[in-house]
Amino acid sequence: MLQTATINFLKELKKNNHKPWFDLHRKKYEAAKADFAAFIQQVIDQHGKKDPGISGLLAKDCMFRINRDTRFSKDKSPYKTNFGASINKGGKKAWNTAGYYFHLEPGSCFTGGGIYMPEPEVLKKIRQEIDYNLPAFKKILSSKKFSGVYNGLNKNPEYLLSRVPKGFEADNPAAEYLKLKSYIAMAPLSNTDLTSKDLVKKTVAAFEALQPLIAFINQGVE
C-alpha cells in the first residue's frame, strides 16, 4: 500500500507547481518518493519470482525523475504531478524492449505495460512477429487471465496508423494489430486501491496477466 501523505503530496503539487513551493516542501517530496520506491521494490521482488527478467532490479533504476523537460513545451511547469516506474529488465532506459509500468497520479492511476513508441526497426520486428504468429498473439489477448484485467490493447488514435503499414497486404488477418505504433495495455486504479493493503498483490496479479504479452513482444525484438 501507499501512504495517504504520498497521494496528498501529489495533489498539492498539482495546485502549486512551482519551485518556491517545491523547495519549501522538499521533505514531503523525499518522503513520498521513498514511499513509492518501497512499494515498487515490493512489486519487483514479488513478481521477479515469476519473471526472472526483472529479478534483482532496484526501484531507483526504474523510477522517472519528477522534473519535467520543458525545453520544447509551451507548458513550463517544472514538475510532473505523478510518480512513474518502468519495470523492465533494462530499467527505465530500455525503450526498445517490452516491460511493466506503474503510474501514480491521483485520479489517473493505472498499471500495465508493453512497449511504447519503439524505434522503426523494432516496431517492424514486432509487426513481423505478430504476422507470423497471429494465433498465438490472439490467444494471449483473449486469455481469461489477460482479459480479466485489461480491456485489450490501447488503441488510442495517437498509437494507430490509418492504414496497414508498408510491407503488409491491406486484407492481412492481423491488420488491426499491424496498424498499432505502440503495444500497451493499461488497467485503471482507484484512489482507494492506492491505500489498500492489497495494492502490491493487485499490481503483481496485473503484471502476471501481462507477462505472456511482454514475452511475445520481446521474443520478436531480441
pTM of this prediction? Answer: 0.95
Tens-digit pLDDT profile for residues 174-214: 999 999 999 999 999 999 999 999 999 999 999 999 999 99
As a whole number of angstroms, the distance between CA 150 and CA 58 comes to 26
pLDDT tens for each residue of 118-177: 999 999 999 999 999 999 999 999 999 999 999 999 999 999 999 999 999 999 999 999
In terms of residue numbers, what domain contains 119? 4-221
Q: What is the pLDDT of residues 78-115, one digit of tens each?
A: 999 999 999 998 777 777 899 999 999 999 999 999 99
Total structural domains in the chain?
Answer: 1
We report the CATH number of the domain holding residue 209 as 3.30.930
Cell matching residue 202: 493487485
From residue 120, give the alpha-carbon distance in Å to each of 96, 108, 116, 141, 197: 10, 29, 12, 24, 41
Which residues, including other chains, have CB under 8 Å from residue 173's CB and lie 6 or more apart? 134
